[in-house]
């Protein structure tokens, strides 16, 4: 089970939003590159970097993303506002090892098929869920029902999913295990969980459900979880 630290970028700083709300923002670090290096030193095996400005249509953080990718030795997966094949190429050109597709993937599974044809396992499809529906455009608009979305993405050949429980995101309330059980009933592909993780016990619970990895930010920033607890420790 892998813990993937999340570094969400807004105006060049590392921040966390509560349930994706841009008005509920906490700034955790003015130097995201130093933060990425710290996570690497603590034992992170992969980093998850999200360009919130790009996702919200408010600019981008490409220079910071490139510095993170070039400064660290662990692979970086990058998401946020990647909605065409050119954006995928740009992200990979910055040094990303995986690219996370969100809004366009949920609304246009044929785009996923084209992306997978060109980039195979470098593609991760984000499925951001609120009340049984996939949310798009920075979690501000409703997309398709969850089951319909997964079925279409399976047909498109999505190689891996990043499933976020929006209601749990940034809350430290524990992961929505039922959500991941539901998704895993409809796919044999690897599933990365995101949203609500607070402690190492949450990581073990996600592993028991069948998730491949967990993306977490606030738990690491607030100190309720340390990477070493799950890279060196064992579940009770």
Mind telling me the catalytic residues? 8, 128
Cβ atoms of 40 and 73 within 8 Å: the answer is yes
CB burial of residue 41 (10 Å; 0-12, 13-18, 19+)? exposed
- Residue 113 parent element (H or E): helix 109-119
**DSSP annotation of 45:** S
Tokens of 43: 């034992």
Q: Do residues 153 and 111 make contact, with C-beta atoms less than 8 angstroms apart?
A: no
What's the rounded Cα separation, in Å, for the pair 162 and 5? Answer: 13
Please give the backbone phi and psi of residue 90, each rounded to the nearest 5 degrees, phi first. -65, -45
Residue 174 DSSP label: -
Q: Which two tokens stand for residue 61?
A: 């953080």
Give, as one character, the DSSP assignment of residue 188.
-
Distance CA 156, CA 109 (A): 6
d(CA 75, CA 6): 13
């Amino acid at each position: 089970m892998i813990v993937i630290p999340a570094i969400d970028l807004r105006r060049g700083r590392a921040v966390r939003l509560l349930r994706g709300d841009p008005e509920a923002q906490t700034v955790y670090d003015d130097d995201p590159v130093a933060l990425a290096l710290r996570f690497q030193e603590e034992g992170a095996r992969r980093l998850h970097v999200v360009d919130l400005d790009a996702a919200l249509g408010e600019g981008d953080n490409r220079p910071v993303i490139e510095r993170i990718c070039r400064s660290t030795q662990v692979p970086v997966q990058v998401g946020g506002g990647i909605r065409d094949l050119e954006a995928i190429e740009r992200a990979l050109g910055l040094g990303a090892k995986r690219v996370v597709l969100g809004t366009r993937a949920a609304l246009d599974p044929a785009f996923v098929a084209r992306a997978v044809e060109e980039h195979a396992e470098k593609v991760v499809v984000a499925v951001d869920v609120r009340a049984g529906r996939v949310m798009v455009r920075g979690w501000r608009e409703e997309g398709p029902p969850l089951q319909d979305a997964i079925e279409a993405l399976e047909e498109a050949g999505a190689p891996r999913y990043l499933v976020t429980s929006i209601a749990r995101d940034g809350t430290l309330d524990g992961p929505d295990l039922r959500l991941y059980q539901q998704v895993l009933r409809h796919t044999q592909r690897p599933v990365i969980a995101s949203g609500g993780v607070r402690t190492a016990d949450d990581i073990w619970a996600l592993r028991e459900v069948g998730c491949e990895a967990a993306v977490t930010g606030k738990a690491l920033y607030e100190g309720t979880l340390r990477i070493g607890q799950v890279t060196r420790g064992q579940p009770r």
